[in-house]
Amino acid sequence: MAVSTIIKNLSNIPGWSSKRKIVIFESDDWGSVRMSSAEAYHSLKTAGLNVEEGAGGRYNKYDTLASAEDLSMLYEVLTSVKDKNNSGAKITAISLTANPDFEKIKALGYQQYFYEPFTTTLERYNKQDAFRLWQEGYNTGIFVPEFHGREHLNVAAWMRALQQDDKEALLAFDKGVWGYKRKHGKIGFQAAFDLEFANDIELQKSIVSDGLDLFEKIHGRRANFFVPPNGPFNNALEPVAASKGIQFMSTSKIQKEVLGEGKSKKNFRYLGKKNKYGQIYITRNAFFEPSGSGKNEIDSCLAEIELAFKWKKPAVISSHRVNFIGGLDTANRDNSLKQLKQLLDTIVKKWPDVEFMTSTELGLTISEK
């Protein structure tokens, strides 16, 4: 047995178990701008910014705000299958509530940060009709927004770079972009809650609090589940989130808790573990990322689902927004949706007793035990 297979088996053993065949799709990044336009992508690439390398490459090439058409096509696939409870597949839409207000920031010489609600961003990009689909998806239970942060942006690190006349940061700024791979700088701008300096934690606390209030204002309800962008965060954010209604926290099984000044420590997590604020940790154990992938995502995801069920664990599948976006390349969306349809058809055929849930529904199910 390969080492990777042994590790996957071992990682599925600890934590909450159930004989029920539960499948959750967690999809990050909804609401964030990411790449502002195809023109911006090619302009920044030509200027020498690293928009292609590593995991960020497919996001910069394909990921942008979801249109009404993107969501409508996704919903069609989700509702095309039924589980044992006659429910369609569900997306837990891990979402941002805001984006930087580039005009205001520039007008004050990069000396102060401003943001706009993502609904305002949709209007600026002439995609305001998409929010009706957000609401429709929530009302039908197939697209349920939860909290990813206020912005998919490390505000403190980004503002310091702009104020220090970082040429790459300013070049990307002028195109409404921040998510490139930096040549200089210790942390990536996309990692919203990474800590460049320990004293950045106070700003991050206010961002979490403010972002959760904005979530309630936009969606008319409190968020229940928090997935910090890119993974790293300091656990001082947990009580802030708890005070604003967050019952469930996403985490890696080996959580990297950042402390600032390049320091960090590791914490062991498992599905169903509670922290001292009463929040339940939810961990992922499967992946479906067909966008830009050269491998068979269907077979690999099915194998991970089967392994989860073997150890009586729910299959919590990571599948980012980029997979379902056609604004920069329609083939990206169409190919991913075709694979998603095949995946879902196979799941309900192979496991007819499957149950599709959102992350919050899983958390509440765990709470009952």
The ranges assigned to domains in the chain are: 3-368
Please report, in tens digits, the pLDDT of each residue of the chain (369 residues total): 565 777 888 888 889 999 999 999 999 999 999 999 999 999 999 999 999 875 568 999 999 999 999 999 999 999 999 999 999 999 999 999 999 999 999 999 999 999 999 999 999 999 999 999 999 999 999 999 999 999 999 999 999 999 999 999 999 999 999 999 999 888 999 999 999 999 999 999 999 999 999 999 999 999 999 999 998 999 999 999 999 999 999 999 999 999 999 999 999 999 999 999 999 999 999 999 999 776 779 999 999 999 999 999 999 999 999 999 999 999 999 999 999 999 999 999 999 999 999 999 999 999 996
What is d(CA 23, CA 362) in angstroms, rounded to the nearest whole number? 9
Alpha carbon separation from 289 to 336, 337, 350 (Å, rounded): 8, 11, 21
What is d(CA 223, CA 204) in angstroms, rounded to the nearest whole number? 18
Taking the whole predicted model, whether its pTM rises above 0.85 is answered as: yes
CA 205, chain centre distance (Å): 19
144 touches 138 (CB < 8 A): yes
Residue 146 dihedral angles phi and psi, to the nearest 5°: -135, -175
Residue located via tokens 């809650």: 193
What is d(CA 17, CA 310) in angstroms, rounded to the nearest whole number? 10
Q: Which long-range contacts (CB under 8 A, 24 or more apart) does 111-119 make?
A: 111/163, 113/155, 113/159, 115/150, 115/151, 117/214, 117/217, 117/218, 118/31, 118/32, 118/218, 119/218
Q: Which fold has domain 3-368?
A: TIM Barrel (3.20.20)
